[in-house]
Structure 1
Amino acid sequence: MTEQQTALTPEDLVAAIEQCHENGWTDGLPVVPPIPSLVNRFLEHTDRSPTDVIWTMKQVKRGCTVQAAAINAAMAGCKPEHFPVVLAALEATVDEGWPGLGGWQSTTGGGPLLIVNGPVRTELGFNAKGNVFGPGFRANATVGRALRLIIMNAYGIRPHELDQATQGFPGKFSMCIAENEEESPWESLSVTLGHEAGVSTVSALHTRSTEHVDNRNVGDARSVLNDIADTCGRIGPMTRRFRRVGVVIGPEHAQLLARQGFSKQDVREYLAEHSGRTAGALRAAGRGESTAVFQSPGPAAFDEAAASDLTHVPDDELVTVLRTPEDVVVVVAGAANAGVSTVVQTLGFPTKTIGTAVVRS
């Protein structure tokens, strides 16, 4: 798109937005026309060359340059100063491993949940509190949307083309939250992942759905954890014997758990031990009679996750769905105004715990 030298009228801007739709550059919603002067303002916020390729997706033989990322961030409605976070978000998503394994193209229709930590949260206005998964905050909405536009435009993963999602889910438009570090009783996710405290990071978790755990006025930590474990162990998301889950714990629940002596690691261990269904319940849902139920083509790393022959397991025996506490990703986010947490179901697990990248200007 060329930038006119004369002043643009409102009708010119409407026409430019429609041109973006006609060219297939949108996620179905209007985008900001990426005029060169706007894109250049984004590129001023990184010292990387515009021609640097951030990552090449081998199965589609397409890569994303820094300039292409800037164009899509501009179209998503980001501010130029958001651009380092967008770059880190793409790096974290790739680092987790699912894009290279076909996660963006999957029939289950998942997408990356981005989790922002560190000073950049407040510096750029990321929401970590009330309505953290909802609308109303430009940084959250546009950074998450920028990554989706990059997936569609730079890599060509579009619905009815390379995106094979059977139904998809709303998080594919945009899903970016910040951790409520101020009201969390525990270390932040970024510190858990090995970063120094005070470093701004973005982490990524390939996600298929979000499910609320509404447990109010109970006052007992184990009761809350049992409720969360029940949601973690739901049969529906089971594509393999084991999975990974994200648990976004509301501050009210997190503070209750901490008061009653649970560290973050204690929470992960409890959920790993108690999340699952009985063998009888799995069989009643058509799961677990044969390993073939869970087998799907993939790397050798999935072999353990796929193994699930429960033929000789008694009906009343609990079959856990988490291999280790490390397969539970715990984040504290939301408002401290009610006993509500959220379980984030994933496609399974790749070869590493979670993708993460440092935000660099």
Structure 2
Amino acid sequence: MSTTALDQVAAPEVDADRIREAMEYYWAKEWTDGLPVVPVTESYLNQFLAVVDRDPEEVLFTITHLNRHLTVRLAAINAALAGCLPEYFPVVLAAWEAIAKEPHPARGIWQSTTGTAPFLVVNGPIRNEIDLNSQGNIFGSGFRANATIGRAIRLGCINVFGLHPHKLDQATQGTPAKYSACIAENEEESPWPALHTEYGFDASDSVVTAYVIRSVMHIEARHTMEPEQLALDFVDSICRTGALIHEYTSALLVIVPEHAQVFASAGWSKDDLRDYVFEHAVRRRSELVAVGKDALSHKTRWRLSSEHPDSMPDTASTTTDEPDVVRVLSHRSSIQIMVAGANNAGVSAVVEIFTLNPPRENPFSYSQIGA
């Protein structure tokens, strides 16, 4: 909408000064993420609680070492503050339930100097019902559902668990995902089954999957129609030494429809791509020595130099043919694959995610919406 058009829109009959006073009051109470929040009344809160059949005092998620608990009511308050519509609240609720199954947040990783953040992927019919963006600019702005659902989680982190920067949140640099990180899968333009069906759900189910992420790296690959070449571009980004914090790393491949069709046209399934990435995601041990990451810490099991007094040998498996070559992925399930983005260019992404190493049988956390 142009500035001229904005000037012609009739403003609702409200007291703008009172709204600003409420916003400043919320800011003074540190109930925001730095951006203005929506003032919440009891009657407006009740609209959120009315769309779910849950006890408002039911505890959804606990961080034990902080002795703080998030209830359905508190989740609704923060969803309203974030700018969600009431019809988004079942997604927010399922997101918190998925997060509660993820082992890392409860252990304090959201407070980490590493700067991690929650990241949500939504599948199923709910995407279209509430206009969740799964196509162009998925990691960007412009869609209320994506922006506010992700923000509802961040505000819950701040307002319920006290994760304010420079205080309990000790991120050295952080990530833009600390504002909001919620995308939907572009199931309509994917040649493969949707992400949530790999967990045993039906395609008609609506599901939220929760991850802990560090960064999103874009892969520019407009140059090839060879699946092996394209897959090696993903491998190279996964294997960068800066990603090797622990013994192994993990990745969510967010593949645009154009790239997905390159693989599918060559007869590759998701599992074919996953197997290829797993087999080729390796580094020579001499390369790990060069950056001081050829061993593990006794205390943290983070990578460090074998010359460090706290070091112990890593147990990273080697390839059969070349014993000096070390795998950087512990298991094929350390690689997740989904399709999202516009079908207009060869630009995909590798999302760096945290998983248990070695992973459990199903290392990811998800919850069915409305179940």
Same fold (TM over 0.5): yes
Q: Where does structure 2 lack aligned partners over 5 or more consecutive residues?
A: 1-12, 303-311
Whether 1:189 and 2:195 are equivalent positions in the alignment is yes
1:91 to 85, 92, 97: 97
CA distance in structure 2 between the partners assigned to 1:88 and 1:174 by the alignment: 16
Q: Say if 1:240 and 1:307, in contact at 8 Å, map to a contact too.
A: no
Kindly provide the amino acid, as one letter, of the partner of residue 234 in structure 1.
R
3-state SS in 2 of match to 1:85 = helix
Whether 1:116 and 2:126 are equivalent positions in the alignment is no
Q: Which residue of 2 aligns with 1:291?
A: 296
Deviates more, 1:69-78 or 1:102-111: 102-111
1:102-123 CA-to-partner distances (Å, cap 9, x unmatched) read: 1211110111110000000000
Count of aligned pairs:
345
Q: Which residue of 1 aligns with 2:76?
A: 70
Identify the structure with bigger relative contact order (alpha carbons < 8 Å, sequence gap 6+): 1
3-state SS in 1 of match to 2:219 = strand
Whether 1:339 and 2:346 are equivalent positions in the alignment is yes
Whether 1:329 and 2:347 are equivalent positions in the alignment is no
Pick closer, same or farther for the CA change 1:214–1:293 going to 2, 3 Å: farther
Kindly provide the amino acid, as one letter, of the partner of residue 297 in structure 2.
A
Q: Which residue of 2 aligns with 1:10?
A: 16
Whether 1:273 and 2:279 are equivalent positions in the alignment is yes
CA distance in structure 1 between the partners assigned to 2:208 and 2:79 by the alignment: 16
1:166-200 CA-to-partner distances (Å, cap 9, x unmatched) read: 11111111000000000111111100111112100
Q: Say if 2:211 and 2:354, in contact at 8 Å, map to a contact too.
A: no
Kindly provide the amino acid, as one letter, of the partner of residue 320 in structure 1.
R
Whether 1:133 and 2:149 are equivalent positions in the alignment is no
Q: Which residue of 2 aligns with 1:169?
A: 175
Q: Say if 2:82 and 2:152, in contact at 8 Å, map to a contact too.
A: yes
Pick closer, same or farther for the CA change 1:168–1:43 going to 2, 3 Å: same
1:185-240 CA-to-partner distances (Å, cap 9, x unmatched) read: 11111001111121001001110000011000311000000000000111112111
Q: Which residue of 1 aligns with 2:239?
A: 233
Q: Which residue of 1 aligns with 2:88?
A: 82
Pick closer, same or farther for the CA change 1:292–1:316 going to 2, 3 Å: same
CA distance in structure 2 between the partners assigned to 1:238 and 1:347 by the alignment: 11
CA distance in structure 2 between the partners assigned to 1:144 and 1:307 by the alignment: 39
1:209 to 215, 229, 236: 215
**Structure 1 residue 159: deviation in Å?**
1.2
Whether 1:43 and 2:39 are equivalent positions in the alignment is no
Q: Which residue of 2 aligns with 1:354?
A: 364
Kindly provide the amino acid, as one letter, of the partner of residue 27 in structure 2.
H
Q: Say if 2:334 and 2:355, in contact at 8 Å, map to a contact too.
A: no
**Structure 1 residue 315: deviation in Å?**
10
What percent of counterpart residues are identical?
44
CA distance in structure 2 between the partners assigned to 1:307 and 1:101 by the alignment: 25
RMSD over aligned CA atoms reads 2.1
1:277-328 CA-to-partner distances (Å, cap 9, x unmatched) read: 222221111110x32289449xxxxxxxx96268x99999432211111110
CA distance in structure 1 between the partners assigned to 2:58 and 2:14 by the alignment: 32
Whether 1:250 and 2:256 are equivalent positions in the alignment is yes
Deviates more, 1:121-130 or 1:151-160: 151-160
Kindly provide the amino acid, as one letter, of the partner of residue 251 in structure 1.
P
Whether 1:26 and 2:32 are equivalent positions in the alignment is yes
Whether 1:219 and 2:225 are equivalent positions in the alignment is yes
3-state SS in 1 of match to 2:243 = coil
CA distance in structure 2 between the partners assigned to 1:221 and 1:185 by the alignment: 14
Kindly provide the amino acid, as one letter, of the partner of residue 354 in structure 1.
F
CA distance in structure 2 between the partners assigned to 1:271 and 1:96 by the alignment: 24
CA distance in structure 2 between the partners assigned to 1:348 and 1:329 by the alignment: 11
TM-score, with structure 1 as normaliser: 0.91
Q: Which residue of 2 aligns with 1:199?
A: 205
Q: Which residue of 2 aligns with 1:301?
A: none
Q: Say if 2:115 and 2:173, in contact at 8 Å, map to a contact too.
A: yes
Kindly provide the amino acid, as one letter, of the partner of residue 292 in structure 1.
S
TM-score, with structure 2 as normaliser: 0.88
Q: Where does structure 1 lack aligned partners over 5 or more consecutive residues?
A: 1-6, 298-305
Kindly provide the amino acid, as one letter, of the partner of residue 64 in structure 2.
K
3-state SS in 2 of match to 1:59 = helix
Q: Say if 2:62 and 2:100, in contact at 8 Å, map to a contact too.
A: no
